[in-house]
Amino acid sequence: MMFEVWNPLGIVGVITAFNFPCAVLGWNACIALVCGNCVVWKGAPTTPLITIAVTKLVAEVLERNKLPGAIFTSFCGGADIGQAIAKDTRIPLVSFTGSSKVGLMVQQTVNERFGKCLLELSGNNAIIVMDDADIKLAVRSILFAAVGTAGQRCTTCRRLFLHESIYADVLDQLIGVYKQVKIGNPLEKGTLVGPLHTPTSVENFQKGISVIKSQGGKILTGGSVLESAGNFVQPTIVEISPDAPVVKEELFGPVLYVMKFQTLEEAIALNNSVPQGLSSSIFTQRPGTIFKWIGPRGSDCGIVNANIPTNGAEIGGAFGGEKATGGGREAGSDSWKQYMRRSTCTINYGSELPLAQGINFG
């Protein structure tokens, strides 16, 4: 009799980023716990109160059900804790969310001890707007994807490719709505753009704008830090060449690069021309274009959308990307398999030993 058995891995390490400190933990920890594992969680060093609060809630639930709270353990701190998790041979799987640079170091450390990694790394996501697109729908979607959460989502739209026949029209409308965006306290009704996470994030925004200008980028709107309390910057639209090196990098803020194309094939090539491969979207009313976009010669990303933004619709699906985004997938129908050990079992219920080689023991 031959069959497969799935057993818990034992301990799953989860290292999360600042921007979604609860959601990414939930995607990993909930499945890991259901699969019978214990979880060791390191939250972002800048969100320690969330780490403490969530851990307390989980511990209370476990203890109320007569399970030890230590099934779910957390740490607050810096890179030294992450390195300890990556090096520890008692942790067979490490799930890491963060930059491609740090993710590569985590992967190398875990691989050295033959552990497994689940990586959710940088995104450099693009929206393509074809000549037959619903322009009003596209503009609303671009605005939400590019400036929501102040551009601090891994699925934020950072590159926009407009067909040359509609380039001026879409750009005019987009600049108009950008100038209407309310910046301020995100808890107040009507506010779309809140602050960047830290003063360091503001410095990175300023450095990014300087690099953009040095590489021929033209600021169409925004591009400045607000002179007020808090880490507030202006949502920014930049007209730039797709060959500019800065376009290949992820600038974690509300900066959108706008570029022109002539054909679908050119747009797909531009979409695929960056190291990252998380999310992508196309706006068109042609079914043939959509099926080419989602097919083998289309987008090379892990999330491939049509007529919706690059973010906000992936809940419940297999979330993750290709290339420098890491190749990991969280959620989705078979995501539980990553958190378990798979064994193929063959049981002989008789006294005979069948051998394919035809050896006769007499």
Q: Six-digit token pair at 70? A: 């230590």
Amino acid sitting at position 275: P
Q: Give the Cα separation of 149 and 191 in Å (integer).
A: 10
Buried b (16+ CB within 10 A) or exposed e, 331-350: beeebeebbbeeeeeeeeee
Contact 116, 35 (CB under 8 A): no
Q: Measuring CA to CA, which residue among 244, 259, 250, 258 is closest to residue 279?
A: 250
Catalytic residue among 120, 250, 314, 330: 120
Q: How many Cβ atoms sit within 10 Å of the Cβ of residue 292?
A: 18
| Three-state DSSP state, 44 | coil
| Three-state DSSP state, 341 | strand
Amino acid sitting at position 32: A
> How big, in percent rounded to 5, are the helix, strand and coil portions of the chain?
35, 25, 45
C-beta contacts of 77-82 below 8 A and 24+ residues apart:
77/42, 77/45, 78/45, 81/42, 82/15, 82/42, 82/106
Q: Has 330 been annotated as catalytic?
A: no
Catalytic residues: 120
